[in-house]
Amino acid sequence: MQLGTDALARLKSALDRKLAAFSSDWKELGQPVLVEKASEQAKRIFQEYASARPSARDAYASALAFLRGHELDEFQRDTVASALNQEVAERQGARPIGSDRLAALFRYYEDEAVGGRLWRLTWFGLLVSYFSYNPLPAKGMEHEGWLSLRKLLARTWPHINSASGNATAPDWITTLRQHPALIGENAADEFADHYLGGDRAILDSIVENVGIPESSWFWHALVFSAVKASAAYNDEQFRAVIPRLIELIKSRPVFRDEALEALLARYHRIPGHPVHHELRDYVVGKDVWRNPKLKAAGIATAWNRVPDAVWRMVLQWVNEGNLRDFFDVLAARNSADEGRLAFWSRYMRQISWTRLIFSSETVSLARSNKAVRELIARETGAYATLYGNKNIDAFIMQIGEYIVVEFSTTGNAAYVYDLATLRFDRYSTTYHGGTEDLRYGFRTGARCRIIHNAGWQFSAAHELARLGIRPDDDKKSLRRPHPMPFEAQQMKATPPPQSMPAGPAWAPPIVPSRANKHAPFSMAALEAQVEQYIGAYIDDRRQAAGGRLWVEDPRQDIALGRQLKAWGFKWANSRSAWYYAE
């Protein structure tokens, strides 16, 4: 049958419309960009499903039921996996991670994983709990619970990994395959160098894939890992990163003590280990390890974490800082330095102990003077106060067997006392500041009295040399300075006898030391050993009742200390010297 012209036109129009519609529906299939977009959408949906978490309401309900001791059904066992760190208000903020029922729950998860029955999303929930653990508010058995969770993940991961096959896997599976140490004891070590360098590309990817919150233990561990990694740097690189490490420790303090222990030990290996002011000021803070001078009093016990040599390093930093601050900050306020900082700096390496004593005026000044405020803050728990004079500060230092007292204003002499016969308690928290205590040597009892007249440095050096105290750079006299014998220390300082040459090289005769037949060393061996170390000397006080055999070592050499300890010597913090306990 033939169609009319109108009919043909209508048919053609209808066919054109169908063809146009068909073309519109299928033309996208030939455009790669649109195909890739659809693929990405499918992947995103898959990843969202593969890392889905139960609703907050369901997770909380399961955590509550678990802490109440209820028997959990299969759904609750799946949902509580991601809520092990959930604080439950009805149980006074307790968390499932600290429950005594945790072990039984973990046995269930492990049996299911080994049998191939554990839902992959349930294991992911355990991973979420692992990374969401915040150690700062942890209490009771919560930390032990977290450690058990880490072990559970490490044991069951091979089963989950194997079951996931080689096909498309969730991002968190891929991440753990690339970084299996994330569920090990050194989870953060491989990222430490990147973190120190400010490169967070890898970390950001991991954070997104496995879900690590800002409160996670992981960031604290990362700081400790950064400290450990820095120990392998050369000295210059290591010193350069210390300020950043300190800031990181402040922000993530969980492993603060371990980090400081590693930092200080590494710094001690730098030749001469010069003062690092930022490290010193941080570690001696009243909320950190406190002043190392307080170790002997049993107050700053954190210093027991490091070897004596490291403790002495920081103690020397503090002593030097106190000396400089006293004259730069306190004495300078009254224009009273008179060259005293330069003078006493010549004996810096022999200063084994210091004490700052603040007047009431100085304590009040701390409110408006930053330098004074920081000085007092550094000495919290170690300084004393004066009540006899409101505007005079004092400084006490120990050099060998002597205590030196300096004052912050002009017209005040310095006094050198014998430590063995000191008439005031050098650990007292308050002093009058007059002849009752610090200045008793004005009348009698001082080994020497240093008056700061013009040219006082020469006469003071002479007086100190008579006591066996010579400048650090006096190599000849430091070879083996001789201490005064016990009997001579009981007498007032007197001029050298006419038969002996006057001047810095003079010293009283030595009382011969006696041997101890039960000691594991002979006096000849001890003398030969000590003589090898510049500045070290033997002080044999056994001539007097109750006296001991001492070895003074102003430089506190590690090798000498090791040998003395092997021979049975012990270290006395109060005197900063070695003694043989007979």
The answer, yes or no, to whether residue 290 has pLDDT greater than 50, is yes
The band of 550, judged by pLDDT with boundaries at 50, 70 and 90, is confident
pLDDT, mean over the chain: 83
The answer to which of 41-50, 304-313, 453-462, 526-535 has the lowest mean pLDDT is 41-50
Give the model's pLDDT for residue 53. Answer: 66
Sign of the Cα pseudo-torsion (304, 292, 274, 234, in order):
positive
* Alpha carbon distance 200, 338 (integer Å): 54
Taking only the tens place, the pLDDT of each residue in 235-247 is 999 999 999 999 9
What is the model's pLDDT at position 576? 74
pLDDT greater at residue 324 or residue 48: 324
pLDDT of the residue at 327: 86
Task: Indicate whether 55 pLDDT > 90.
Answer: no
Could you tell me whether strands 384-386 and 430-431 are parallel, antiparallel, or unpaired per DSSP bridges?
Answer: parallel
For the cut 80, the answer to whether the pLDDT of residue 484 exceeds it is no
Question: What pLDDT shows up at residue 309?
Answer: 92
**Mean pLDDT for the stretch of residues 365-369:** 86
**Range with lowest mean pLDDT among 39-48, 173-182, 211-220, 565-574:** 39-48
Would you state the pLDDT for residue 38?
40
- pTM for the predicted model, two decimal places: 0.66
Contacts of residues 532-537 at CB distance under 8 Å and 24 or more positions apart, as own/partner, are 532/560, 533/557, 533/559, 533/560, 534/475, 534/478, 534/479, 535/349, 535/350, 535/478, 535/481, 536/480, 536/560, 537/480, 537/481, 537/482, 537/483
Which residue would you say has higher pLDDT here, 499 or 248?
248
- Average pLDDT in the 230-236 region? 95
Give me the pLDDT at residue 4, please: 53
Instruction: State mean pLDDT over 458-484.
Output: 71
Q: What is the pLDDT of residue 495?
A: 39
Lowest mean pLDDT among 249-258, 456-465, 530-539: 530-539
Least confident of 89-98, 470-479, 499-508: 499-508
Mean pLDDT of 108-136: 94
Q: Quick one: which H or E segment has residue 110?
A: helix 102-114
- What mean pLDDT comes out for the span 332-355? 84
Would you state the pLDDT for residue 32? 52
Does residue 483 register a pLDDT over 50? no
Q: Which of 68-82, 207-221, 229-243, 564-578 has the lowest mean pLDDT?
A: 564-578
